[in-house]
Structure 1
Amino acid sequence: MQAVTFDSFGGPEVLRLAEVPTPEPGPDEVLIRVLASGVNRADLLQRQGHYPPPRGASAILGLEVSGVVDSVGDGVRGWQSGDECVALLSGGGYAEYVAVPAGQVVQPPRGTDLVTASGLIEVAATVTSNLSLVGLRAGETFLVHGGTGGIGTFAIQYASGLGARVFATAGTPRKLELCRDLGAADAFDYHGNWLAALREATDGRGADVILDVMGAAYLASNLDALALDGRLVVIGLQGGRSGTLDLAKLLAKRASVTATGLRGRPVEQKAAICAEVVQLVWPLIESGRIKPATETRYGAADAAEAHRHLASGEAVGKVILTWT
């Protein structure tokens, strides 16, 4: 089979199509013939050498795919050859075939184009698992950074659907307007004083829950932005990995800081999260209450261009590789 590979860490130019062995499904695994692969910032970090795959995972990039079942391993029930599916992966998605634990394979939302579906499950699993963890409730105030990325566009809609009052940050007037169109009460330019704008919009109270992809660069500001009993969830490190936390301020606000990752979780946890996505998210997509993000598609041979586009800051929504 063909897969997007790289022989050394570096820029997008290291990516190339190559012939690699086709995997075989092991016990409790499903072999998927891939139609499309979601592209995520984690893939860029792995290509650069900053995000190694978990022990035992494929070294091939790619954390989510859509396609059809090719074959199943011993012990798998409910799937047969030809079934359409999407899957959450620990790696291996930039390839024509991938073997996945059966609990991480689900049917796509009804009525959603199968290529589009390749970009849904990773963001849905990330957002739903984290907002469930911190217990975002109706009537609370929610802030997401990077409101027009894959995570952000989904989080705005999902949090709005939960009944939260949603705010977002983004970097251009066009992106700020998109956040509002998706359901944000307002959106703030992160080049400016977004913290002051949030405080003004909330009468000085701040946000009950913040979902953050930036990490260290925003740590102090995020703490300042939290309301009393607020919860900060860090899910990305685009702004660095090491910061200073004012514990006195954290105590005074009775606030909490949580950092979670999805990729390295045990198979059982990932299966439970995928089941939660099917239960909570797919009906919202099928009813039109959550609309799939704007997407940019590239052929698998153009994976380097896909990475350049995602890294450029110009990308809105999801970037997808297609294998047909």
Structure 2
Amino acid sequence: MDDRSTGPEVNTDLRDFLRSRRARITPADAGLPDQRGPRRVAGLRREEVAQLAGVSVDYYVRLERGRSLHVSEAVLDAVARSLCLNDTERDHLFALARPARRPRRPAPPQRVRPGLFRVLDTLSGNPAMIIGHRLDILAANGMARALYTDFEALPHRDRNLARYIFLDESARSLYADWEAAARRVVAALHLYAGRHPDDPRLAELIGELSVHDHDFRRWWADHDVHRHSNGTKLYHHPLVGDLTLHYEALTPTTDPDQLLGLYTAEPNTPSDHALRLLASWTGNPSPTPPTSG
């Protein structure tokens, strides 16, 4: 059977993800003995994954081809270990192997709770924004708008972090390492796609970015996944220069598909002074309550 078969029972997302993860793992990475001589495939062979996972070769081949299977949690755990998946990739594998199919219609607009919106308003000295489905920007305080762009002046469909990163030329000069930031955004979209495989607005977004940006199209094919949690980002702001900001992503318990992103600078550093200067120049305008998600 051709690996590229796409019949009605083929899970192409699962197929492509497993193949991409297998291709990046060497036998040494997986703890297999060194084998002399050339190898015909990049990464592990299917029979090697099957051996490591403790399943038959035929079973793993059908799984990687995306054929409909009732895969147990134990088997998925074993495959995740064999492919050296991290926690985010493991969760993504489970989501792809056990997709929760929903009606193919847009999800209801997301709303930011008034209490959470007031929290955003109090963070006036630091950039902060609330991100929802498909990396939509649901709300942003004045500092976030000063750091990035005035999302609230854009049409609702354009208030999206991925569209900003790939379609707004100013983003490429704002990020000191634009490629790293852009690849994280692509990987975050892949993670969302695993949980919401039937979101038509996501399909529209992926199609638009694939048409307009070669880098997005290439990185989407890598099938990497990323969960926003914390880290450091480097910027070169047109008004205040270089900024090193640390971010934390906090998820409200009432809506796991929203997150509050908060950016801070180390006290008494050039980045801290630059952030204070940006605040003084922008006047810390308060965020406007969103009318839709």
Normalised TM-score (structure 2): 0.25
Q: Point out the structure with the larger helix share.
A: 2
Higher strand share: 1
TM-score (norm 1): 0.24
